[in-house]
């Protein structure tokens, strides 16, 4: 077949300059749809920039643009509104002619060269490589996916010319991941260095399936002009042990690489003493080498999840088993060294009904036949506790209660093995009491975990738990055994509640929640606690007041002003204008804020509230303090999420992956999932 194209088919130009051929009327039509998303300028906002009129986005606080193209880009990226320009008569006619030309080419068999050129033109090798890396790292695919014939068949079905654009060697994937990591790392570095808040770090240590000891380092911050909390994995480095000195030696090069040594905020970690050592090492270094005052006790934030875990463990295992022994059982089970052991069963039996339930679940899972039999009774399995995590015990108890009849039938069937673990009616009653007691701790954990859970929830949640423990001790005072467990839980919890006095950040975060302020402390804390806590926060406030920008024009604090989308009547607008005033130089922002009426931000966070422009204008200094403090997470659970993802990356058939490539994969995964690279990738 002749591959040459008949020149007569190309007698009409295939493209036209849309900027020169578009009639004026068409611009008016497409522009009209664009400007329907604008609003009139507010008081103090300019109507023009030079000779050009400014158009303000009605969905944003202050965004404006002069050109419709820029405005359409903004609507698409920020609000998901995609406005397509309308084709004019000339463009429509051109498109019709192009279609006729292509149909003539098809009828004469002359489209191969055109098709090849068109198919190749839409392929961008750099973007394909970036998308391939993204697919592999976020979905935990093996590197040799590019050697699968099925993968290339799929790609060729999407675009027959794709073969020459996608590598077929798995060794190339590691190189592409490294290239992508280094390129994207520069973007993350700039984001961190320009952050509005300090860079807070959550850290934890994990032993990987291929027996590497990793230190996970996660950054938490508010990005410049974002007004929302962001997070990023910035390091997953091997360490030789758990010591604080070793952690600091590993952490420092990471901070230096990102250029954020002088931006370190708080350290969020569990209650291990090695983390105290780490914080002291950071403080000493910053003082001697950087000339910065960084108080280790002040900046050391204890993971509320770990505090709850220790307190509930004290309740569950009081006077029956040591936590270290439970941890040893976990290790032995992972390595296959934990065989059926009567002494271990007896140890758990000392826990009472919950320990008996544990032994029954172990028995069910001990053989395929027993597992199948129990599934015929219950239709599902009872989850096995992770011996050192209280919430897994709680979950096991809750599900066991839901399927108590199935467990009873099963136990009777295997009574010769489970006679000592048979659950009597009084045992089931005790399990219901335990489950009821643990419900509030489960809810407290949910409230303080996740991306939006910041330090303002810590003391408040601890206050809730203290009230609950007080009530429970009174409720079960006649039940000496149960009451002693609750008291042990309370004693353990109180140790860490007292440690919150070491840092004013806890009380400051509580006060900076707009629905609490100092009124909460006056209403709910002991009189002897109130003044010292508030004075520490005021002292902290003075350090922010001295370095923040000048005061701004403020307005009255009212619910009407909290809702920027609420349309004010003409009367309310005049009232607002009359009440606008300049804060006297002698008036303190902190005192002004604390004396205001509480405001409930609803489902939004306290950080979101402080990031709004109206709060920034009213309390310009205090808002910076609030954003800095309220970007501290309540838990150090982010490294654990990283470890969960890394566990899927380091599967049994990928145990030879080195530490360096593991870090690169998990960092890229974190950056993309956290949407820090979203705009760059979409571009």
Express each pLDDT in 411-429 by its tens digit: 999 999 999 999 999 999 9
Q: What's the pLDDT at 220?
A: 96
Q: What is the mean pLDDT of residues 208-212?
A: 90
Spatial distance between the Cα atoms of 480 and 121, rounded to a whole number of angstroms: 79
For the purposes of burial, counting CB atoms within 10 Å of the CB of 466, is it exposed (0-12), middle (13-18) or buried (19 or more)? middle
pLDDT in tens, 636-665: 999 999 999 999 999 887 888 899 999 999
Instruction: Give the lowest-confidence range in 79-83, 361-365, 437-441.
Output: 79-83
Spatial distance between the Cα atoms of 298 and 266, rounded to a whole number of angstroms: 8
Spatial distance between the Cα atoms of 274 and 255, rounded to a whole number of angstroms: 19
pLDDT-derived band at 498, boundaries 50, 70, 90:
very high
Spatial distance between the Cα atoms of 399 and 374, rounded to a whole number of angstroms: 14
Q: What's the pLDDT at 682?
A: 46
Radius of gyration of the chain (CA): 32
Across-strand partners of 236?
216
Spatial distance between the Cα atoms of 222 and 451, rounded to a whole number of angstroms: 12
DSSP H helical ranges for 38-124:
68-79, 89-107, 112-121
Backbone angles phi and psi of 485, in degrees to 5: -65, -45
Instruction: Give the lowest-confidence range in 225-239, 332-346, 470-484, 595-609.
Output: 332-346
pLDDT in tens, 301-340: 999 999 999 999 999 987 766 655 555 555 555 444 544 5
Residue 566 has pLDDT above 60, yes or no: no
Instruction: Give the lowest-confidence range in 54-58, 65-69, 350-354.
Output: 65-69
pLDDT in tens, 430-479: 999 999 999 999 999 999 998 889 999 999 999 999 999 999 999 999 99
Q: What's the pLDDT at 12?
A: 41
**CA dist 658 to 445, 523, 535, 661, Å?**
35, 55, 51, 6
Residue 669 has pLDDT above 80, yes or no: yes
3-class secondary structure, 65: strand
Q: What is the mean pLDDT of residues 127-150?
A: 91
With CA atoms as reference, report the closest residue to 508 among 606, 583, 431: 606
Using CA atoms of 323, 329, 330, 333 in order, give the dihedral in degrees to the nearest 10.
Answer: -170
With CA atoms as reference, report the closest residue to 265 among 281, 282, 277, 249: 282
Q: What's the pLDDT at 489?
A: 95
Q: What's the pLDDT at 340?
A: 53
Spatial distance between the Cα atoms of 210 and 656, rounded to a whole number of angstroms: 8
Q: What is the mean pLDDT of residues 151-174?
A: 87
**CA dist 465 to 191, 482, 648, Å?**
38, 17, 35
Q: What is the pLDDT of the chain when averaged over all its residues?
A: 84
Structure tokens at 546: 């001295």
For the whole prediction, is pTM greater than 0.85? no
């Amino acid at each position: 077949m002749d591959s040459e194209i008949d020149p007569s088919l190309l007698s009409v130009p295939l493209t036209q300059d849309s900027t020169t051929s578009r009639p004026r009327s068409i611009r008016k039509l497409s522009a009209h749809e664009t400007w329907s998303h604008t609003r009139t300028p507010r008081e103090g906002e300019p109507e023009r920039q030079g000779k050009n009129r400014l158009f303000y986005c009605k969905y944003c606080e202050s965004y404006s643009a002069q050109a419709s193209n820029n405005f359409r880009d903004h609507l698409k990226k920020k609000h998901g509104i995609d406005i397509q320009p309308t084709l004019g008569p000339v463009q429509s006619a051109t498109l019709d002619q192009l279609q006729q030309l292509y149909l003539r080419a098809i009828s004469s068999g002359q489209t191969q060269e055109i098709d090849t050129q068109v198919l190749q033109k839409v392929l961008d090798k750099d973007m394909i490589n970036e998308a391939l890396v993204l697919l592999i790292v976020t979905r935990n695919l093996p590197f040799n996916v590019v050697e699968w014939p099925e993968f290339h068949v799929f790609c060729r079905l999407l675009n027959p010319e794709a073969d020459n654009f996608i590598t077929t060697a798995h060794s190339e994937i590691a190189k592409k991941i490294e290239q992508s990591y280094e390129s994207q790392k520069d973007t993350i570095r700039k984001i961190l260095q320009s952050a509005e808040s300090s860079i807070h770090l959550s850290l934890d240590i994990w032993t990987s399936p291929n027996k590497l000891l990793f230190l996970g380092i996660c950054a938490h911050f508010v990005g410049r002009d974002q007004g929302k909390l962001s997070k990023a994995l910035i390091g997953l480095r091997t360490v030789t042990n758990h010591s604080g000195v070793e952690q600091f030696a590993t952490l420092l090069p990471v901070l230096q690489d990102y250029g954020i040594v002088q931006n370190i905020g708080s350290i969020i970690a569990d209650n291990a003493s090695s983390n105290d050592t780490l914080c002291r090492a950071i403080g000493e270094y910053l003082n001697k080498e950087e000339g910065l005052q960084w108080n280790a006790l002040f900046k050391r934030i204890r993971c509320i999840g770990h505090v709850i875990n220790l307190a509930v463990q004290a309740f569950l295992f009081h006077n029956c088993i040591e936590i270290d022994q439970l941890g040893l059982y976990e290790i032995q089970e992972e390595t296959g060294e934990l065989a059926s052991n009567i002494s271990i069963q007896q140890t758990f039996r000392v826990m009472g009904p919950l320990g008996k339930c544990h032994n029954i679940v172990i028995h069910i899972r001990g053989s395929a036949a027993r597992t199948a039999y129990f599934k015929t009774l219950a239709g599902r399995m009872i989850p096995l506790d992770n011996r050192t995590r209280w919430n897994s015990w709680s979950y096991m108890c809750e599900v066991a209660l839901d399927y108590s009849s199935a467990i009873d039938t099963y136990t009777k069937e295997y009574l010769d093995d489970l006679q000592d673990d048979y659950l009597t009616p009084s045992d089931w009653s005790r399990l219901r009491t335990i489950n009821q007691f643990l419900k509030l701790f489960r809810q407290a954990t949910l409230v303080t975990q996740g991306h939006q859970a910041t330090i303002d929830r810590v003391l408040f949640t601890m206050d809730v738990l203290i009230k609950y423990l007080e009530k429970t001790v009174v409720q079960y005072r006649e039940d000496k055994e149960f009451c002693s467990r609750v008291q042990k839980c309370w004693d353990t919890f109180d140790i860490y509640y007292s440690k919150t006095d070491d840092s004013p950040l806890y009380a400051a975060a509580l006060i900076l929640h707009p629905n609490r302020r100092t009124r909460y402390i006056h209403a709910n804390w002991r009189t002897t606690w109130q003044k010292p806590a508030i004075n520490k926060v005021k002292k902290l406030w003075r350090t922010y007041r001295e370095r923040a920008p000048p005061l701004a024009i403020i307005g009255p604090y009212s619910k009407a002003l909290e809702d920027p989308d609420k349309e004010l009547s003409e009367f309310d607008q005049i009232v607002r204008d009359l009440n606008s005033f300049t804060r006297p130089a002698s008036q303190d922002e902190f005192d002004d804020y604390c004396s205001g009426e509480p405001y409930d931000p609803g489902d939004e966070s306290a950080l979101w509230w402080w990031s709004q422009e109206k709060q920034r204008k009213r309390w310009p200094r205090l808002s910076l303090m609030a954003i800095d403090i309220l970007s501290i997470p309540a838990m150090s659970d982010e490294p654990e999420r990283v470890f969960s993802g890394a566990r899927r990356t380091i599967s049994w058939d990928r145990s030879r992956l080195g530490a360096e490539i593991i870090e690169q994969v998990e960092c890229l995964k974190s950056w993309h999932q956290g949407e820090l690279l979203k705009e760059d990738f979409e571009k």
